């Protein structure tokens, strides 16, 4: 039995709380970008997700993700109803911290990943349909993908690198959001008149909370209070800052003014791109990755807008595209000098790592997109996804919750 190290345990408990804070941060980030008649709705989508996943994870989600491997696709029923998840160490995943600490750390990843998808439902979804979607998606999409990469499944076994969730979190949620947007259609008046954010200061506060929580997200994924965690902390901050500056300067050059929303979007894109690489790359690589994602995601947002796809909080353009780019660049910049437990990336002479990263990206995109597309079509047929035009006009705060944010 491995020895539990109190310092590591303390660090991961702190990181767990930091990752938990990301979901309220996301609620404010999204909430500021919708119209004021829908802010209660957006906050409700994120908070109910936290509540649902917290229960779903201990009942069945954790065992599907981290139970004994079943054919490389899904975990077994070892931890059904959280049986066997106790205070002892679990050498299979985190030998120096209690098993229960590892499991709740991973729970918060499941929460924030599912909440990201609320972007695609903004201002037009039935609250009841969202609840059903959360239960199904977290069980059918998130848990298998987490198992593939981190729980002993086929992606991890083929050697793909994903330190903190580029594929598991960002690609799965981003491309699921795209599938939903294609099924659910546009908001009334989208593309006809301007639908502007109602409270950018709220979005800025949400970004600050996300940035703060992301240190727990990435540095905590070292699963120990050590130098690797410190490296992940540093490159996370560096990539976010670089991408924020890149997006701001690019928008300034093309539009004539520096945009606060652009800066905030760039920061999130930088946090996304470094997530799979945080434990494998150095700070100079983080600058290059932050610069690249600032440009790529800027134009991904423009292309999404020109294609008239109403996924206007940009889970797809930032999380999906940024996550895919990050996973691929991990295969380029991964260094044994940062993490001696890997073979290195393309720049270290290991082209095979980039090829492996490519196949992992394609697998997660295909599964997440196709399964989500089918899932939301079924929910739409059986229960309906969108509210009526009258309810959408009144706003979801009134029509779904009978509450008003501002009086």
Per-residue pLDDT of the chain (407 residues; tens, 9 = 90+): 578 999 999 999 999 999 999 999 999 999 999 999 999 999 999 999 999 999 999 999 999 999 999 999 999 999 999 999 999 998 788 889 999 999 999 999 999 999 999 999 999 999 999 999 999 999 999 999 999 999 999 999 999 999 999 999 999 999 999 999 999 999 988 878 778 899 999 999 999 999 999 999 999 999 999 999 999 999 999 999 999 999 999 999 999 999 999 999 999 999 999 999 999 999 999 999 999 999 999 999 999 999 999 998 999 999 999 999 999 999 999 999 999 999 999 999 999 999 999 999 999 999 999 999 999 999 999 999 999 999 999 999 999 999 999 98
The answer as to whether 407 is a domain residue is no
DSSP reduced 3-state for 188: coil
Burial of 268 (0-12, 13-18, 19+ CB in 10 A): buried
Contacts 24+ apart (CB under 8 A), 126-131: 126/383, 126/384, 126/385, 126/386, 126/387, 126/400, 127/41, 127/44, 127/45, 127/48, 127/396, 127/400, 127/401, 128/383, 129/379, 129/380, 129/383, 129/384, 129/385, 130/45, 130/48, 131/48, 131/52
How much is the pLDDT for 373?
98
Burial of 200 (0-12, 13-18, 19+ CB in 10 A): middle
Using the Cα atoms of residue 226, residue 228, residue 231 and residue 236 in order, give the sign of their dihedral: negative
The answer as to whether 250 is a domain residue is yes
- CA 153, distance to chain mean position in Å, is 20
**Nearest Cα to Cα of residue 273 among 169, 343, 360, 180:** 169
Residue whose pair of structure tokens reads 């996304």 in the numeric block: 272
Tokens of 381: 């047929």
The answer as to whether 388 is a domain residue is yes
The answer as to whether 1 is a domain residue is no
The 3 state secondary structure assigned to 2-47 is CCCCHHHHHHHHHHHHHHHHHHHHHHHHHHCCCCHHHHHHHHHHHH
Give residue 224's domain range: 6-401
The answer as to whether 406 is a domain residue is no
Strands (E), 22-143: 69-70, 74-75, 89-90, 94-98
The answer as to whether 187 is a domain residue is yes
How much is the pLDDT for 1?
54
CA–CA separation, 186 and 319 (whole Å): 20
CA–CA separation, 97 and 7 (whole Å): 9
Question: Count of domains in the chain?
Answer: 1
- CA 86, distance to chain mean position in Å, is 27
The answer as to whether 316 is a domain residue is yes
How much is the pLDDT for 214?
98
The answer as to whether 173 is a domain residue is yes
- On whether the CB atoms of residues 373 and 182 are closer than 8 A, the answer is yes
Which domain CATH number covers 278? 1.10.3430.10
């Amino acid at each position: 039995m491995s020895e539990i190290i109190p310092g590591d345990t303390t660090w991961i408990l702190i990181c767990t709380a930091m990752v938990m804070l990301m979901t309220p941060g996301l609620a404010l980030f999204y909430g500021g970008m919708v119209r004021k008649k829908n802010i209660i709705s957006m906050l409700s989508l994120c908070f109910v997700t936290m509540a649902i996943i917290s229960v779903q994870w201990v009942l069945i989600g954790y065992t599907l993700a981290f139970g004994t491997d079943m054919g490389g696709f899904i975990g077994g029923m070892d931890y059904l109803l959280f049986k066997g998840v106790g205070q002892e160490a679990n050498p299979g995943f985190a030998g120096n911290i209690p098993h229960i600490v590892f499991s709740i750390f991973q729970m918060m990843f499941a929460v924030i990943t599912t909440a990201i998808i609320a972007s695609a439902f903004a201002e037009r979804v039935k609250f009841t349909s969202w609840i059903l979607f959360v239960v199904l998606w977290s069980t059918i999409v998130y848990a298998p993908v987490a198992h593939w990469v981190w729980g002993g499944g086929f992606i991890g076994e083929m050697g793909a690198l994903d330190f903190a969730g580029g594929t598991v979190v960002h690609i799965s949620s981003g491309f699921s959001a795209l599938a939903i947007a294609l099924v659910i259609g546009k908001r009334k008046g989208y593309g006809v008149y301007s639908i502007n954010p109602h409270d950018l200061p709220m979005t800025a506060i949400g970004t600050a909370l996300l940035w703060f929580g992301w240190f727990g997200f990435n540095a905590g994924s070292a699963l120990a209070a050590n130098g690797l965690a410190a490296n992940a902390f540093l490159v996370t901050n560096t990539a976010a800052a670089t991408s924020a500056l890149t997006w701001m300067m690019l928008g300034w050059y093309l539009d004539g003014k520096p945009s606060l929303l652009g800066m905030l979007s760039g920061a999130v894109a930088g946090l996304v791109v470094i997530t799979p690489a945080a434990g494998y790359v150095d700070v100079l690589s983080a600058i290059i990755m932050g610069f690249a994602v600032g440009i790529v995601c800027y134009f991904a947002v423009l292309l999404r807008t020109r294609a008239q796809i109403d996924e206007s909080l940009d889970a797809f353009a930032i999380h999906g595209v940024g996550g895919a780019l990050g996973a691929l660049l991990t295969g380029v910049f991964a260094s044994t000098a940062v993490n001696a437990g890997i073979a290195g990336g393309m720049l270290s002479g290991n082209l095979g790592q980039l090829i492996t990263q490519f196949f992992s990206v394609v697998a997660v995109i295909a599964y997440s997109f196709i399964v989500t597309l089918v899932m939301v079509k079924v929910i739409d047929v059986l229960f309906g996804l969108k509210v009526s035009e009258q309810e959408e006009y009144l706003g979801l705060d009134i029509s779904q919750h009978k509450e008003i944010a501002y009086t």
